């Protein structure tokens, strides 16, 4: 297990344990204000183009004609959901995806199926990375000015992992 993966496992496990009371409060709040399921899961494309199920707290009304993506001012987002999204609390269950190795704390956001299929040439290099809960501005700048290999050297192999995580966590991207 590399440094980055070890860091992901420790932080996600500790986070899941410490945040369990918050999870319970949010589950009750979602249940009371929205009814229906507490969690939302969706197929996303992960590392090496493998599909996985991302887990989030549900922020929208259940819709029979569900759109795959959310649009700005989407009418399906509830007031409770808007609060959860504003503070990114809806993404906390993704710590489970990090713990199971499907995601990382920092990395490119996982796309829904159909988008990754359209990548060609060097753009497909992004599929070599484990998708993340949080996208660092450093990653975006690094991806535009350097190669995916440079990013991999800094994060996947462990060089700068902790700095990358904390610097991206406390910046408003």
β-bridge pairing 104-106 and 51-57: unpaired
Q: List the end-to-end C-alpha distance of the chain, in Å, as a whole number.
A: 29
Q: What is the pLDDT of residue 35?
A: 87
Strand partners, 57: 39
41-74 confidence digits (pLDDT tens):
999 999 999 999 999 999 988 765 555 566 667 7
Could you tell me the pTM of the whole model?
0.79
Q: What is the pLDDT of residue 71?
A: 64
Judged by DSSP in three states, 20 sits in helix
Helix (H) or strand (E) holding 30: helix 20-34
The domains of the chain are located at: 3-169
Helix (H) or strand (E) holding 98: helix 94-99
Q: What is the pLDDT of residue 173?
A: 43
Sequential pLDDT tens for the chain (173 residues): 688 899 999 999 999 999 999 999 999 999 999 988 999 999 999 999 999 999 999 998 876 555 556 666 777 888 899 999 899 999 999 999 999 999 999 888 898 898 888 888 888 888 888 999 987 655 455 444 455 555 555 555 554 555 555 655 555 44
β-bridge pairing 104-106 and 132-134: parallel
């Amino acid at each position: 297990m590399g440094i980055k993966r070890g860091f992901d496992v420790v932080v996600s496990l500790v986070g899941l344990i410490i945040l369990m009371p918050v999870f319970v409060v949010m589950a009750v709040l979602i249940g009371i204000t929205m009814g229906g399921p507490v969690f939302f899961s969706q197929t996303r494309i992960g590392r090496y183009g493998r599909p996985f199920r991302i887990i989030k707290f549900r922020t929208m009304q259940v819709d029979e004609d569900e759109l795959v993506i959310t649009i700005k001012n989407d009418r399906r987002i509830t007031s409770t959901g808007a609060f959860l999204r504003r503070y990114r609390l809806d993404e906390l269950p993704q710590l489970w995806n990090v713990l199971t190795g499907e995601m990382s704390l920092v990395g490119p956001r996982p796309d829904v199926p159909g988008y990754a299929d359209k990548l060609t040439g060097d753009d497909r290099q992004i599929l070599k990375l484990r998708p993340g809960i949080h996208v660092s501005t450093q990653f975006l700048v690094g991806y535009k000015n350097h190669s995916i290999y440079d990013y991999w050297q800094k994060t996947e192999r462990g060089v700068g992992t902790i700095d990358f995580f904390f610097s991206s966590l406390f910046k408003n991207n």
